[in-house]
Structure 1
Amino acid sequence: MAETVSILFVGDIVGSPGLQLTETVLPSLIKKYEADFVIANGENSHEGHGINESIIKSLHNLGVHVITGGDHSFDKWKVFPYMRENNTILRPLNYPKGNAGSGFGVYEIPGTSYKIGVLNLQGRTFMKAIDDPFSAADWALSKIKEETNIIFVDMHAEATAEKISMGWHIDGRASVMVGTHTHIPTGDARIFPQGLGYQTDAGMTGSFNSSIGMDKKVAIKRFTTGVHQKYRAAEGDNHLCGVFAKVDTETGKCVHIEQVTYPEFYSSKES
Protein backbone atom coordinates (compact mmCIF):
# COMPACT_ATOMS: atom_id res chain seq x y z
CA MET A 1 0.00 0.00 0.00
CA ALA A 2 1.32 3.44 -0.94
CA GLU A 3 2.50 5.71 1.86
CA THR A 4 0.39 8.78 2.46
CA VAL A 5 0.51 12.01 4.43
CA SER A 6 -2.60 13.38 6.12
CA ILE A 7 -3.54 17.06 5.84
CA LEU A 8 -6.14 18.78 8.01
CA PHE A 9 -7.42 22.19 6.88
CA VAL A 10 -9.45 24.52 9.11
CA GLY A 11 -11.79 26.90 7.25
CA ASP A 12 -11.88 30.68 7.85
CA ILE A 13 -11.61 31.29 11.60
CA VAL A 14 -13.95 34.18 12.45
CA GLY A 15 -13.35 36.27 15.56
CA SER A 16 -13.22 35.13 19.16
CA PRO A 17 -15.94 32.46 18.76
CA GLY A 18 -13.93 30.79 16.01
CA LEU A 19 -10.68 31.04 17.93
CA GLN A 20 -12.24 29.65 21.12
CA LEU A 21 -13.75 26.69 19.30
CA THR A 22 -10.48 26.02 17.47
CA GLU A 23 -8.63 26.07 20.78
CA THR A 24 -11.16 23.65 22.26
CA VAL A 25 -11.47 21.04 19.53
CA LEU A 26 -8.46 21.25 17.20
CA PRO A 27 -6.11 19.11 19.32
CA SER A 28 -8.67 16.29 19.42
CA LEU A 29 -9.32 16.58 15.67
CA ILE A 30 -5.60 16.37 14.95
CA LYS A 31 -5.52 13.20 17.02
CA LYS A 32 -8.70 11.78 15.45
CA TYR A 33 -7.48 12.26 11.88
CA GLU A 34 -3.83 11.51 12.72
CA ALA A 35 -2.98 14.68 10.81
CA ASP A 36 0.63 15.05 9.75
CA PHE A 37 0.21 18.67 8.69
CA VAL A 38 -2.34 21.31 9.71
CA ILE A 39 -3.29 24.45 7.77
CA ALA A 40 -5.83 27.09 8.83
CA ASN A 41 -7.21 30.19 7.17
CA GLY A 42 -6.92 32.99 9.73
CA GLU A 43 -7.65 36.20 7.82
CA ASN A 44 -10.86 36.84 9.82
CA SER A 45 -9.55 35.75 13.21
CA HIS A 46 -9.01 39.20 14.77
CA GLU A 47 -12.42 40.75 15.45
CA GLY A 48 -13.72 39.30 12.20
CA HIS A 49 -11.25 41.17 9.97
CA GLY A 50 -7.50 40.57 9.82
CA ILE A 51 -5.04 38.79 12.09
CA ASN A 52 -2.38 39.72 14.61
CA GLU A 53 0.88 38.28 15.90
CA SER A 54 -0.66 36.99 19.13
CA ILE A 55 -3.27 34.95 17.23
CA ILE A 56 -0.64 33.58 14.86
CA LYS A 57 1.48 32.33 17.76
CA SER A 58 -1.59 30.90 19.51
CA LEU A 59 -2.61 28.93 16.41
CA HIS A 60 0.93 27.60 16.00
CA ASN A 61 0.88 26.46 19.63
CA LEU A 62 -2.36 24.57 18.93
CA GLY A 63 -0.64 22.59 16.17
CA VAL A 64 -1.31 24.72 13.07
CA HIS A 65 1.77 24.66 10.86
CA VAL A 66 0.75 27.23 8.24
CA ILE A 67 -1.86 30.02 8.31
CA THR A 68 -3.34 31.21 5.03
CA GLY A 69 -5.13 34.47 4.26
CA GLY A 70 -7.25 36.39 1.79
CA ASP A 71 -8.71 39.81 1.14
CA HIS A 72 -8.50 40.72 4.85
CA SER A 73 -4.86 39.69 5.27
CA PHE A 74 -3.77 43.34 5.30
CA ASP A 75 -6.53 44.76 7.53
CA LYS A 76 -4.35 44.93 10.65
CA TRP A 77 -1.18 46.76 9.63
CA LYS A 78 0.71 45.97 12.87
CA VAL A 79 1.12 42.37 11.66
CA PHE A 80 3.06 43.42 8.55
CA PRO A 81 6.58 43.16 10.10
CA TYR A 82 5.78 39.66 11.38
CA MET A 83 4.47 38.64 7.95
CA ARG A 84 7.69 39.85 6.34
CA GLU A 85 9.86 37.80 8.69
CA ASN A 86 7.85 34.55 8.98
CA ASN A 87 6.76 32.41 6.04
CA THR A 88 4.33 30.32 8.11
CA ILE A 89 1.78 33.14 7.72
CA LEU A 90 0.77 33.44 4.07
CA ARG A 91 -1.27 35.96 2.08
CA PRO A 92 -2.54 35.59 -1.50
CA LEU A 93 0.42 35.40 -3.89
CA ASN A 94 -1.25 37.44 -6.62
CA TYR A 95 -1.32 40.73 -4.71
CA PRO A 96 1.05 43.20 -6.40
CA LYS A 97 4.73 42.99 -5.54
CA GLY A 98 5.87 45.03 -2.56
CA ASN A 99 3.16 43.93 -0.16
CA ALA A 100 4.14 42.29 3.11
CA GLY A 101 4.38 38.54 3.40
CA SER A 102 4.75 35.48 1.21
CA GLY A 103 2.22 33.83 -1.08
CA PHE A 104 3.60 30.32 -0.82
CA GLY A 105 6.17 28.26 1.02
CA VAL A 106 7.67 24.78 1.22
CA TYR A 107 7.71 23.17 4.66
CA GLU A 108 9.03 20.06 6.36
CA ILE A 109 6.24 17.69 7.40
CA PRO A 110 7.05 16.87 11.04
CA GLY A 111 7.89 13.25 11.77
CA THR A 112 8.45 12.42 8.09
CA SER A 113 11.10 12.86 5.43
CA TYR A 114 8.67 14.72 3.18
CA LYS A 115 7.97 18.34 2.36
CA ILE A 116 4.71 20.08 1.51
CA GLY A 117 4.16 23.20 -0.55
CA VAL A 118 1.33 25.52 0.48
CA LEU A 119 0.06 28.12 -1.99
CA ASN A 120 -2.40 30.94 -1.22
CA LEU A 121 -4.29 32.57 -4.10
CA GLN A 122 -7.15 35.06 -4.37
CA GLY A 123 -9.84 35.31 -7.03
CA ARG A 124 -10.79 38.49 -8.89
CA THR A 125 -14.46 37.97 -9.75
CA PHE A 126 -16.57 40.24 -7.48
CA MET A 127 -13.36 41.02 -5.56
CA LYS A 128 -10.41 43.40 -5.71
CA ALA A 129 -8.77 43.91 -9.09
CA ILE A 130 -5.43 42.31 -8.29
CA ASP A 131 -3.07 40.24 -10.43
CA ASP A 132 -4.11 37.12 -12.33
CA PRO A 133 -4.31 34.10 -9.97
CA PHE A 134 -4.02 31.58 -12.83
CA SER A 135 -0.65 32.79 -14.07
CA ALA A 136 0.47 33.21 -10.46
CA ALA A 137 -0.45 29.58 -9.84
CA ASP A 138 1.50 28.45 -12.91
CA TRP A 139 4.63 30.20 -11.70
CA ALA A 140 4.36 29.10 -8.06
CA LEU A 141 3.58 25.47 -8.83
CA SER A 142 6.63 25.22 -11.07
CA LYS A 143 8.79 26.55 -8.24
CA ILE A 144 7.26 24.29 -5.58
CA LYS A 145 7.60 21.22 -7.86
CA GLU A 146 11.38 21.65 -7.67
CA GLU A 147 11.18 20.57 -4.02
CA THR A 148 8.05 18.45 -3.58
CA ASN A 149 5.05 16.87 -5.32
CA ILE A 150 2.83 17.37 -2.26
CA ILE A 151 1.07 20.69 -2.77
CA PHE A 152 -1.92 22.27 -1.01
CA VAL A 153 -3.72 25.30 -2.46
CA ASP A 154 -6.07 27.69 -0.61
CA MET A 155 -8.06 29.55 -3.29
CA HIS A 156 -9.74 32.51 -1.58
CA ALA A 157 -12.51 33.60 -3.93
CA GLU A 158 -16.13 34.71 -4.12
CA ALA A 159 -17.25 33.03 -7.35
CA THR A 160 -17.67 29.27 -7.37
CA ALA A 161 -17.01 29.27 -11.13
CA GLU A 162 -13.61 30.86 -10.59
CA LYS A 163 -12.73 28.33 -7.89
CA ILE A 164 -13.71 25.28 -9.90
CA SER A 165 -11.97 26.69 -12.99
CA MET A 166 -8.79 26.98 -10.93
CA GLY A 167 -9.29 23.39 -9.82
CA TRP A 168 -9.41 22.16 -13.40
CA HIS A 169 -6.46 24.42 -14.27
CA ILE A 170 -4.16 22.87 -11.66
CA ASP A 171 -5.48 19.30 -11.70
CA GLY A 172 -2.43 17.04 -12.06
CA ARG A 173 -0.09 19.73 -10.76
CA ALA A 174 -1.33 20.08 -7.17
CA SER A 175 -2.49 17.58 -4.56
CA VAL A 176 -5.39 19.41 -2.88
CA MET A 177 -7.24 22.64 -3.54
CA VAL A 178 -9.76 24.01 -1.06
CA GLY A 179 -11.76 27.18 -1.56
CA THR A 180 -12.28 29.75 1.17
CA HIS A 181 -13.95 33.17 1.60
CA THR A 182 -17.71 32.51 1.29
CA HIS A 183 -17.85 30.93 4.78
CA ILE A 184 -20.49 28.41 3.67
CA PRO A 185 -19.27 24.79 3.41
CA THR A 186 -20.00 23.06 0.12
CA GLY A 187 -20.76 19.35 -0.14
CA ASP A 188 -18.69 18.64 -3.24
CA ALA A 189 -15.47 17.14 -1.86
CA ARG A 190 -14.10 14.92 -4.64
CA ILE A 191 -11.00 13.89 -6.53
CA PHE A 192 -10.48 15.23 -10.06
CA PRO A 193 -9.34 12.90 -12.89
CA GLN A 194 -5.64 13.70 -12.56
CA GLY A 195 -5.55 13.42 -8.77
CA LEU A 196 -6.48 16.82 -7.36
CA GLY A 197 -8.52 16.62 -4.15
CA TYR A 198 -11.06 19.44 -4.34
CA GLN A 199 -13.78 21.21 -2.36
CA THR A 200 -15.28 24.51 -3.53
CA ASP A 201 -15.45 26.02 -0.05
CA ALA A 202 -14.38 24.67 3.31
CA GLY A 203 -16.81 26.90 5.20
CA MET A 204 -15.94 28.88 8.31
CA THR A 205 -15.05 28.24 11.92
CA GLY A 206 -17.18 30.46 14.11
CA SER A 207 -20.76 31.40 14.90
CA PHE A 208 -23.49 30.11 12.60
CA ASN A 209 -26.03 32.16 14.58
CA SER A 210 -25.01 34.82 12.10
CA SER A 211 -24.60 36.05 8.57
CA ILE A 212 -21.29 34.38 7.57
CA GLY A 213 -19.94 34.93 11.08
CA MET A 214 -21.16 38.49 11.56
CA ASP A 215 -24.10 39.74 13.66
CA LYS A 216 -27.21 38.91 11.63
CA LYS A 217 -29.17 41.99 12.73
CA VAL A 218 -26.43 44.26 11.41
CA ALA A 219 -26.26 42.27 8.18
CA ILE A 220 -30.01 42.59 7.64
CA LYS A 221 -29.81 46.36 8.19
CA ARG A 222 -27.06 46.62 5.59
CA PHE A 223 -29.23 44.82 3.05
CA THR A 224 -32.52 46.54 3.84
CA THR A 225 -31.20 50.11 4.12
CA GLY A 226 -28.39 50.02 1.59
CA VAL A 227 -26.32 51.95 4.14
CA HIS A 228 -23.01 50.83 5.64
CA GLN A 229 -23.28 49.42 9.15
CA LYS A 230 -20.24 48.37 11.17
CA TYR A 231 -20.02 44.60 11.38
CA ARG A 232 -19.26 42.77 14.60
CA ALA A 233 -18.60 39.08 15.11
CA ALA A 234 -21.63 37.03 16.14
CA GLU A 235 -21.83 34.51 18.97
CA GLY A 236 -23.54 31.16 19.46
CA ASP A 237 -24.03 27.93 17.50
CA ASN A 238 -20.32 27.63 16.86
CA HIS A 239 -18.96 25.08 14.39
CA LEU A 240 -15.53 24.21 13.03
CA CYS A 241 -15.60 23.56 9.29
CA GLY A 242 -12.72 22.22 7.28
CA VAL A 243 -11.35 19.50 5.04
CA PHE A 244 -9.29 16.37 5.62
CA ALA A 245 -7.21 14.82 2.85
CA LYS A 246 -4.66 12.07 2.29
CA VAL A 247 -1.97 12.42 -0.37
CA ASP A 248 0.24 9.75 -1.93
CA THR A 249 3.80 10.74 -1.05
CA GLU A 250 5.29 9.39 -4.27
CA THR A 251 2.86 10.76 -6.86
CA GLY A 252 1.50 13.77 -4.99
CA LYS A 253 -2.02 12.70 -5.93
CA CYS A 254 -4.91 12.88 -3.48
CA VAL A 255 -6.29 9.48 -2.53
CA HIS A 256 -8.93 10.62 -0.03
CA ILE A 257 -10.78 13.84 0.76
CA GLU A 258 -13.72 14.58 3.04
CA GLN A 259 -15.56 17.49 4.58
CA VAL A 260 -15.00 18.11 8.29
CA THR A 261 -17.72 19.69 10.45
CA TYR A 262 -17.66 19.75 14.25
CA PRO A 263 -20.16 19.59 15.73
CA GLU A 264 -22.21 18.37 12.78
CA PHE A 265 -25.18 20.35 11.52
CA TYR A 266 -28.64 18.91 12.09
CA SER A 267 -31.39 19.21 9.49
CA SER A 268 -34.27 18.41 11.84
CA LYS A 269 -35.22 18.62 15.49
CA GLU A 270 -37.31 16.21 17.52
CA SER A 271 -40.62 17.66 18.67
Structure 2
Amino acid sequence: MRVMFLGDVVGRPGREYLRVRAGALRAELDLDFLVVNAENAAAGAGITGAIARQLLDAGIDAITLGDHVWDQRGFESEIVDLQQVCRPANLPEGCPGRRWVCVERDGVKLAVFTMLGRQFLPPRASCPFRGSDALLEEIRAVDNPTLAVAEIHAEATSEKIAFGRYLDGRVAAVVGTHTHVPTADACILPAGTGYVTDLGMCGPYDSVLGRDVDAGIRRFLDGMPRRFGVASDDVRLCGVVFDFDVRSGRTIRFQPFREDAPVAPAGASDGAERASGVDTAGEAGNGAKP
Protein backbone atom coordinates (compact mmCIF):
# COMPACT_ATOMS: atom_id res chain seq x y z
CA MET A 1 0.00 0.00 0.00
CA ARG A 2 1.61 3.23 -1.19
CA VAL A 3 0.71 6.55 0.45
CA MET A 4 2.10 10.02 -0.25
CA PHE A 5 2.09 12.64 2.50
CA LEU A 6 2.70 16.24 1.46
CA GLY A 7 3.66 19.12 3.76
CA ASP A 8 1.84 22.37 4.49
CA VAL A 9 0.14 23.81 1.41
CA VAL A 10 0.80 27.56 1.38
CA GLY A 11 -1.43 30.04 -0.44
CA ARG A 12 -2.59 30.10 -4.04
CA PRO A 13 0.81 29.10 -5.52
CA GLY A 14 0.95 25.91 -3.46
CA ARG A 15 -2.66 24.88 -3.78
CA GLU A 16 -2.93 25.61 -7.51
CA TYR A 17 0.15 23.59 -8.43
CA LEU A 18 -1.02 20.76 -6.18
CA ARG A 19 -4.49 20.88 -7.70
CA VAL A 20 -3.02 20.64 -11.21
CA ARG A 21 -0.65 17.79 -10.34
CA ALA A 22 -2.59 15.65 -7.85
CA GLY A 23 -4.29 13.37 -10.35
CA ALA A 24 -1.15 12.87 -12.41
CA LEU A 25 0.94 12.12 -9.33
CA ARG A 26 -1.47 9.39 -8.34
CA ALA A 27 -1.02 7.73 -11.72
CA GLU A 28 2.71 8.35 -12.16
CA LEU A 29 3.66 7.07 -8.71
CA ASP A 30 0.93 4.42 -8.43
CA LEU A 31 -0.40 5.97 -5.22
CA ASP A 32 -3.19 4.35 -3.26
CA PHE A 33 -3.76 7.42 -1.09
CA LEU A 34 -2.65 11.06 -1.16
CA VAL A 35 -2.78 13.02 2.11
CA VAL A 36 -1.87 16.69 2.57
CA ASN A 37 -1.71 19.25 5.35
CA ALA A 38 -3.55 22.30 4.00
CA GLU A 39 -3.76 24.59 7.02
CA ASN A 40 -2.10 27.48 5.14
CA ALA A 41 -3.94 27.04 1.84
CA ALA A 42 -6.04 30.22 2.09
CA ALA A 43 -3.81 33.30 1.70
CA GLY A 44 -1.16 31.58 3.81
CA ALA A 45 -3.29 31.20 6.94
CA GLY A 46 -6.11 28.71 7.38
CA ILE A 47 -8.39 27.13 4.82
CA THR A 48 -11.94 27.59 3.54
CA GLY A 49 -14.57 25.04 2.69
CA ALA A 50 -14.35 25.95 -0.99
CA ILE A 51 -10.57 25.44 -1.10
CA ALA A 52 -10.84 22.13 0.74
CA ARG A 53 -13.39 20.88 -1.80
CA GLN A 54 -11.18 21.99 -4.70
CA LEU A 55 -8.29 19.94 -3.34
CA LEU A 56 -10.47 16.91 -2.64
CA ASP A 57 -12.00 17.10 -6.11
CA ALA A 58 -8.49 17.23 -7.59
CA GLY A 59 -7.61 13.84 -6.10
CA ILE A 60 -6.60 14.43 -2.48
CA ASP A 61 -7.94 11.71 -0.18
CA ALA A 62 -7.54 13.40 3.19
CA ILE A 63 -6.67 16.86 4.48
CA THR A 64 -5.13 17.56 7.87
CA LEU A 65 -4.97 20.94 9.60
CA GLY A 66 -2.93 22.58 12.35
CA ASP A 67 -2.68 25.63 14.56
CA HIS A 68 -4.15 27.91 11.86
CA VAL A 69 -7.32 25.83 11.64
CA TRP A 70 -9.66 28.70 12.63
CA ASP A 71 -7.85 31.58 10.89
CA GLN A 72 -10.46 31.91 8.13
CA ARG A 73 -13.72 33.43 9.29
CA GLY A 74 -16.64 31.02 9.17
CA PHE A 75 -14.61 27.85 8.74
CA GLU A 76 -15.81 26.57 12.11
CA SER A 77 -19.24 26.10 10.55
CA GLU A 78 -17.91 24.74 7.24
CA ILE A 79 -15.68 22.03 8.69
CA VAL A 80 -18.60 20.01 10.00
CA ASP A 81 -19.59 19.08 6.43
CA LEU A 82 -16.07 18.12 5.30
CA GLN A 83 -15.81 14.41 5.98
CA GLN A 84 -12.28 14.06 4.56
CA VAL A 85 -10.83 16.92 6.63
CA CYS A 86 -9.62 16.59 10.21
CA ARG A 87 -8.56 19.28 12.66
CA PRO A 88 -6.04 18.64 15.44
CA ALA A 89 -7.48 15.96 17.69
CA ASN A 90 -6.18 17.50 20.91
CA LEU A 91 -7.95 20.85 20.65
CA PRO A 92 -10.26 21.70 23.57
CA GLU A 93 -13.38 19.58 23.91
CA GLY A 94 -16.33 20.95 21.98
CA CYS A 95 -14.40 22.23 18.96
CA PRO A 96 -16.18 21.40 15.70
CA GLY A 97 -14.74 19.08 13.09
CA ARG A 98 -13.50 15.52 12.88
CA ARG A 99 -10.59 14.30 14.99
CA TRP A 100 -9.52 11.78 12.38
CA VAL A 101 -10.25 10.76 8.80
CA CYS A 102 -10.67 7.18 7.63
CA VAL A 103 -10.53 6.47 3.89
CA GLU A 104 -10.83 3.12 2.14
CA ARG A 105 -9.59 1.60 -1.11
CA ASP A 106 -9.75 -2.02 -2.25
CA GLY A 107 -10.76 -3.12 1.21
CA VAL A 108 -7.84 -1.37 2.94
CA LYS A 109 -8.74 1.32 5.47
CA LEU A 110 -6.31 4.14 6.25
CA ALA A 111 -6.94 6.27 9.34
CA VAL A 112 -5.12 9.61 9.64
CA PHE A 113 -5.08 12.01 12.59
CA THR A 114 -3.02 15.01 13.65
CA MET A 115 -1.94 16.30 17.03
CA LEU A 116 -0.72 19.79 17.92
CA GLY A 117 2.56 20.03 19.75
CA ARG A 118 2.81 22.18 22.88
CA GLN A 119 6.38 23.48 22.81
CA PHE A 120 6.59 27.10 21.56
CA LEU A 121 2.93 27.04 20.48
CA PRO A 122 -0.05 28.66 22.22
CA PRO A 123 -1.03 26.48 25.22
CA ARG A 124 -4.49 25.50 24.04
CA ALA A 125 -3.92 21.83 23.17
CA SER A 126 -3.93 18.87 25.52
CA CYS A 127 -1.05 16.39 25.69
CA PRO A 128 -0.50 14.86 22.23
CA PHE A 129 1.17 11.79 23.74
CA ARG A 130 -1.56 10.71 26.15
CA GLY A 131 -4.18 11.98 23.74
CA SER A 132 -2.91 9.62 21.04
CA ASP A 133 -3.27 6.64 23.38
CA ALA A 134 -6.97 7.26 23.87
CA LEU A 135 -7.60 8.33 20.28
CA LEU A 136 -6.02 5.21 18.78
CA GLU A 137 -8.25 3.05 20.95
CA GLU A 138 -11.29 5.01 19.77
CA ILE A 139 -10.27 4.90 16.10
CA ARG A 140 -9.81 1.15 16.22
CA ALA A 141 -13.12 0.63 18.01
CA VAL A 142 -15.05 2.80 15.53
CA ASP A 143 -13.34 2.19 12.17
CA ASN A 144 -11.02 -0.80 12.69
CA PRO A 145 -8.51 0.56 10.14
CA THR A 146 -5.92 -1.57 8.40
CA LEU A 147 -3.35 1.20 8.80
CA ALA A 148 -3.12 4.26 11.04
CA VAL A 149 -0.86 7.27 10.52
CA ALA A 150 -0.24 10.06 13.02
CA GLU A 151 0.78 13.60 12.14
CA ILE A 152 2.48 15.81 14.72
CA HIS A 153 2.04 19.50 13.90
CA ALA A 154 4.69 21.04 16.11
CA GLU A 155 7.51 23.56 16.36
CA ALA A 156 10.12 21.66 18.37
CA THR A 157 12.03 18.88 16.64
CA SER A 158 12.61 17.19 19.99
CA GLU A 159 8.87 16.97 20.62
CA LYS A 160 8.30 15.50 17.16
CA ILE A 161 11.06 12.92 17.50
CA ALA A 162 9.85 11.90 20.96
CA PHE A 163 6.30 11.59 19.61
CA GLY A 164 7.50 9.32 16.81
CA ARG A 165 9.36 7.12 19.26
CA TYR A 166 6.35 7.05 21.57
CA LEU A 167 4.11 5.66 18.81
CA ASP A 168 6.74 3.39 17.25
CA GLY A 169 5.16 0.02 16.52
CA ARG A 170 1.62 1.29 17.12
CA VAL A 171 1.07 3.20 13.87
CA ALA A 172 2.33 2.72 10.32
CA ALA A 173 3.99 6.14 10.21
CA VAL A 174 4.45 9.41 12.08
CA VAL A 175 4.92 12.52 9.94
CA GLY A 176 5.79 16.00 11.17
CA THR A 177 4.46 19.27 9.79
CA HIS A 178 4.33 23.01 10.67
CA THR A 179 7.86 24.37 10.11
CA HIS A 180 7.61 24.42 6.27
CA VAL A 181 11.20 23.14 6.06
CA PRO A 182 11.73 19.53 4.87
CA THR A 183 14.04 17.50 7.08
CA ALA A 184 16.54 14.91 5.87
CA ASP A 185 15.81 12.31 8.56
CA ALA A 186 13.13 10.07 7.03
CA CYS A 187 13.61 6.57 8.42
CA ILE A 188 11.99 3.42 9.72
CA LEU A 189 12.03 3.33 13.52
CA PRO A 190 13.07 0.15 15.40
CA ALA A 191 9.55 -1.26 15.75
CA GLY A 192 8.63 -0.59 12.11
CA THR A 193 7.00 2.84 12.12
CA GLY A 194 8.00 5.17 9.28
CA TYR A 195 9.06 8.62 10.45
CA VAL A 196 10.05 12.09 9.25
CA THR A 197 10.40 15.20 11.43
CA ASP A 198 8.95 17.56 8.82
CA LEU A 199 7.47 16.97 5.39
CA GLY A 200 8.27 20.51 4.28
CA MET A 201 6.03 22.86 2.31
CA CYS A 202 3.98 22.82 -0.86
CA GLY A 203 4.38 26.41 -1.95
CA PRO A 204 6.87 29.13 -2.92
CA TYR A 205 10.40 28.46 -1.63
CA ASP A 206 11.80 31.84 -2.77
CA SER A 207 10.39 33.20 0.46
CA VAL A 208 10.54 33.14 4.24
CA LEU A 209 8.48 30.03 4.98
CA GLY A 210 6.19 30.84 2.05
CA ARG A 211 5.83 34.54 2.84
CA ASP A 212 7.26 37.66 1.22
CA VAL A 213 11.01 37.89 1.85
CA ASP A 214 11.19 41.64 2.47
CA ALA A 215 8.37 41.58 5.02
CA GLY A 216 9.98 38.65 6.80
CA ILE A 217 13.34 40.40 7.08
CA ARG A 218 11.79 43.65 8.26
CA ARG A 219 9.87 41.85 10.99
CA PHE A 220 13.18 40.68 12.48
CA LEU A 221 14.78 44.10 12.06
CA ASP A 222 12.15 46.28 13.70
CA GLY A 223 9.63 43.92 15.30
CA MET A 224 6.73 45.94 13.91
CA PRO A 225 3.49 44.17 12.99
CA ARG A 226 2.87 44.00 9.26
CA ARG A 227 1.01 41.99 6.70
CA PHE A 228 2.91 38.97 5.40
CA GLY A 229 1.87 38.38 1.83
CA VAL A 230 2.34 34.97 0.22
CA ALA A 231 5.38 34.79 -2.08
CA SER A 232 5.05 33.47 -5.62
CA ASP A 233 8.34 32.08 -6.97
CA ASP A 234 10.12 28.70 -6.87
CA VAL A 235 6.98 26.67 -6.18
CA ARG A 236 7.57 23.09 -5.09
CA LEU A 237 5.71 20.11 -3.74
CA CYS A 238 7.46 18.40 -0.84
CA GLY A 239 6.76 15.30 1.21
CA VAL A 240 7.45 11.59 1.61
CA VAL A 241 6.07 8.46 -0.07
CA PHE A 242 5.67 5.45 2.22
CA ASP A 243 5.11 1.82 1.26
CA PHE A 244 3.19 -0.01 3.99
CA ASP A 245 2.74 -3.73 4.62
CA VAL A 246 -0.99 -4.12 5.18
CA ARG A 247 -0.51 -7.38 7.09
CA SER A 248 1.82 -6.01 9.75
CA GLY A 249 0.76 -2.36 9.57
CA ARG A 250 4.39 -1.27 9.32
CA THR A 251 6.51 0.74 6.89
CA ILE A 252 8.66 -1.33 4.55
CA ARG A 253 10.03 1.43 2.28
CA PHE A 254 10.04 5.21 2.03
CA GLN A 255 11.25 7.87 -0.39
CA PRO A 256 11.49 11.64 0.15
CA PHE A 257 9.65 13.50 -2.60
CA ARG A 258 10.23 16.87 -4.17
CA GLU A 259 8.88 18.32 -7.40
CA ASP A 260 9.57 21.80 -8.75
CA ALA A 261 6.88 23.64 -10.66
CA PRO A 262 7.90 24.51 -14.23
CA VAL A 263 9.66 27.81 -14.80
CA ALA A 264 9.48 28.95 -18.41
CA PRO A 265 12.60 30.74 -19.75
CA ALA A 266 12.18 34.18 -21.27
CA GLY A 267 10.12 33.94 -24.43
CA ALA A 268 9.06 30.35 -23.80
CA SER A 269 5.46 29.26 -24.19
CA ASP A 270 3.16 28.31 -21.34
CA GLY A 271 3.64 24.70 -22.33
CA ALA A 272 7.14 24.47 -20.88
CA GLU A 273 8.03 21.00 -19.69
CA ARG A 274 7.55 20.30 -16.00
CA ALA A 275 10.76 20.60 -14.00
CA SER A 276 11.80 17.54 -12.04
CA GLY A 277 12.99 17.82 -8.44
CA VAL A 278 16.20 16.30 -7.13
CA ASP A 279 14.26 13.84 -4.97
CA THR A 280 11.40 12.09 -6.71
CA ALA A 281 9.36 9.18 -5.51
CA GLY A 282 9.05 7.52 -8.88
CA GLU A 283 11.52 4.88 -7.69
CA ALA A 284 10.09 4.50 -4.21
CA GLY A 285 11.18 1.18 -2.84
CA ASN A 286 13.36 0.46 -5.88
CA GLY A 287 10.76 -1.95 -7.12
CA ALA A 288 7.12 -2.82 -7.47
CA LYS A 289 4.60 -1.61 -4.96
CA PRO A 290 3.77 -4.23 -2.33
| TM bracket, shorter-chain basis | over 0.9
**Unaligned runs of at least 5 residues, structure 2:** 261-276, 280-290
Find the aligned partners of 1:214 and 1:163 in 2 and give their Cα distance: 24
Tell me if 1:250 matches 2:244.
no
Q: SS where residue 220 of structure 1 aligns?
A: helix
Find the aligned partners of 2:152 and 2:180 in 1 and give their Cα distance: 13
1:116–1:148 Cα contact (<8 Å) kept: yes
Q: SS where residue 236 of structure 2 aligns?
A: strand
Q: 1:25 deviation in Å?
A: 2.2
1:6-29 CA deviation, whole Å, 9 max, x = no partner? 111121000001012112322222
**In structure 1, which of residues 58, 63, 66 is the aligned counterpart of residue 62 of structure 2?**
66
Q: Percent identity?
A: 34
**Unaligned runs of at least 5 residues, structure 1:** 267-271
The code of the aligned residue for 1:183 comes to H
Find the aligned partners of 1:103 and 1:26 in 2 and give their Cα distance: 24
| TM-score, length of structure 1 as denominator length | 0.93
Tell me if 1:98 matches 2:94.
yes
Tell me if 1:125 matches 2:116.
no
Query: 1:269 — aligned with what?
Result: none
Query: 1:183 — aligned with what?
Result: 180
For residues 44-55 of structure 1, what are the structure 2 equivalents within 5 Å? 44-55=40-51
Q: 1:258 deviation in Å?
A: 1.5
The code of the aligned residue for 1:154 comes to E
Find the aligned partners of 1:187 and 1:50 in 2 and give their Cα distance: 27
Q: 1:42 deviation in Å?
A: 0.6
CA gap of 1:97–1:55, structure 2 versus 1, over 3 A, is same
Q: CA RMSD in A?
A: 1.3
1:48-85 CA deviation, whole Å, 9 max, x = no partner? 00100111111111111110000001111322222123
Find the aligned partners of 1:139 and 1:69 in 2 and give their Cα distance: 20
1:121-176 CA deviation, whole Å, 9 max, x = no partner? 11000001121111111111122234024011111000000000000000010001
Find the aligned partners of 1:105 and 1:208 in 2 and give their Cα distance: 29
Bigger relative contact order, structure 1 or 2 (CA pairs below 8 A, ≥6 apart) = 1
1:236-264 CA deviation, whole Å, 9 max, x = no partner? 11110011101111110011112110022
Find the aligned partners of 2:115 and 2:134 in 1 and give their Cα distance: 12
Structure 1 segments of 4 or more deviating over 3 A? Answer: none
For residues 120-269 of structure 1, what are the structure 2 equivalents within 5 Å? 120-129=114-123, 130-146=125-141, 147-263=144-260, 264=277
| TM-score, length of structure 2 as denominator length | 0.87
